[in-house]
Structure 1
Amino acid sequence: MNAPAAIIEAHLAPAGDAPVLGDEDRARAHHYALLARLFFAAPDAPLLAALAASARVMGDGDAPFARAWAELGDCAEQADAPAVRDEYDALFYGIGRPDVMLYGSWYLAGFLMEEPLAELRDDLAELGLARRAGVAETEDHIAALAEVMRHLALTGPDEAGLARQRRFFVRHLQPWYARLADALAAAPQARFYARTGALMRAFFDIESEAFAMEQGVAGH
């Protein structure tokens, strides 16, 4: 389920040898990639089947993350791909203003293409990342931000890399991801994507707590 980047690409080659990744880093990158894929486009039938199969493992437990996986897996198992595609279009590409916005600037500033996007572009340039040519979605789309975090998780598992991950997450995802999850939970037509939003919230909550702990350790 690890999809290639759809919105963001690296315009600077990474320096040095490829980093050695642990299982946790790979799992985190996998979840960022999955969320990027699901928010960039509706899942097809094979992806729905893969989600249902993954949930049988990931959804075992009572923690919020496991429950979110279990509920998404149940929904994916019962879902019809064309119906999920219709849900995606109705939620995110409706006539006029979409029912649910997927762009950070909307939640941070109340409008699209505002100062948070300019700040994000500056940070992406420092990381050697940029929007792919020909892509309509701006860099503050939730899928693009998940792609960036996947890239950072795969290329920076060391202390300096974790600091880059923490800084990017805290600046560009942490302030608004819960509001997106709330919007999806409240949307009457959201079924599959209400569960996707719940998984996003549960995973990002774990990331928030881990980054806070790492910041505390680094400060001592």
Structure 2
Amino acid sequence: MNAPQAAILRAPGSAPSASPPESAEDAARAEHYALLARLFFAAPDAPLLAALVVASDVFGVGDSPFGVAWAELANAARRTDAQSVHDEYEALFQGIGRPEVMLYGSFYLAGFLMEEPLADLRDDLAELGLARRGGVTETEDHVAALAEVMCHLVITGADAAGLARQRAFFVRHLQPWYARLADALAASPRASFYARVGALARAFFDVEREAFAMD
């Protein structure tokens, strides 16, 4: 899939390791986090839409929620074009006033933006050596930023300590609210392609939640 990443966070003073994970499973996990970060950060362009269709031949198989979500996302990518998805992204997540669907964890956890969950997140990011890039307007609790962090943690930590960091970050900062975001996208009359993105996010994060619970 070789998903492009969003660019919300950085590692001050040093670049994060770009070495691919040793296991195929971790490589796939990292790519899915990178893909979700990219799709929630900005609308996909035509090459990425085409890549989603191709990737579904690998991931969109079987009748598991994950396979079904992939197949439905690929079908949505086939039926749309970059301009239509761009317009949908703006209608859902941007514009004047409050967006129809919020992409920020603080909103789902506290009911408002820039609340205590964001302060807690910033403390955890500082411990991980991560911070928001200069010039980026999205706060660190944007779902794209959180997926970007998880991608970074998968790539840079495959040992027991690294897995513990992944689990702790996911459980604290994504697990409590990702289903509510997916529900909001599923319920939105303006969401077509992004309802399918939300369904894939839910299915993938469900797999991650179950795996972390077993470790």
Pair in the same fold by TM > 0.5: yes
Aligned ranges for residues 66-215 of structure 1 at < 5 Å?
66-214=67-215
CA distance in 2, matches of 1:9, 1:68: 30
> What TM-score results when the alignment is normalised by the length of structure 1?
0.94
Percent identity of the aligned residues?
71
Q: Shift in Å at residue 108 of structure 1?
A: 0.3
Residue 19 of structure 1: how far off its partner (Å): 7.9
Is the 2:6–2:41 Cα contact (8 Å) retained in structure 1?
A: no
Give the residue type in structure 1 aligned to 2:82.
A
CA contact (8 A) 2:5 2:35 kept: no
What SS does the corresponding residue of 1:60 show, helix, strand or coil?
coil
Q: Partner of 1:11 in structure 2?
A: 12
Summarize the Cα distance change of 1:68–1:19 in structure 2 as closer, same or farther, 3 Å threshold: closer
CA RMSD of aligned residues (A): 1.7
In the other structure, the counterpart of 1:51 is 52
**4+ runs deviating over 2 angstroms:** 12-20
- 1:94 is displaced (CA, Å) by 2.8
What amino acid maps onto 1:189 in structure 2? Answer: R
1:31 is matched with 32
Alpha-carbon offset, residue 11 of structure 1: 1.3
Q: Structure 1's 140 and 16: CA in aligned 2 closer, same or farther, altered over 3 A?
A: closer
Alpha-carbon contact 1:91-1:190 (below 8 Å) kept: yes
SS in structure 2 of the partner of residue 154 of structure 1: helix
Flag the 1:44–1:5 CA change in 2: closer, same or farther, 3 A. Answer: closer
Distance in 1 (alpha carbons) for counterparts of 2:166 and 2:52: 26
* Stretch moving more, 91-100 or 17-26: 17-26
Kindly provide the CA deviation profile for residues 114-149 of structure 1, in whole angstroms up to 9, marking residues without a partner as x.
Answer: 000000000000000000000000000000000000
Secondary structure of the residue aligned to 1:32 is helix
Q: Following the alignment from structure 1 to structure 2, what is the Cα–Cα distance between the partners of residues 15 and 43?
A: 25
Shift of 1:184: 0.2
Shift of 1:14: 7.2
Give distance in 2, aligned partners of 1:122 and 1:139.
11
Query: Unpaired segments of 5 or more residues in structure 2?
Result: none
**CA offset at residue 150 of structure 1?**
0.1
Could you say if the C-alpha distance between residues 120 and 15 of structure 1 is closer, same or farther in structure 2, counting changes exceeding 3 Å? closer
Question: What is the CA–CA distance in structure 1 between the aligned matches of 2:135 and 2:176, rounded to whole Å?
Answer: 28
Distance 1:114 1:26, change over 3 A: same
8 A Cα contact 2:69 2:196, kept in partner: yes
Q: 1:57, CA displacement in angstroms?
A: 2.0
Amino acid at match of 1:79: T
Match of 2:41 in 1: 40
The offset of 1:3, in angstroms, is 1.8
Closer, same or farther: CA 12–162 of 1 in aligned 2, 3 Å: farther
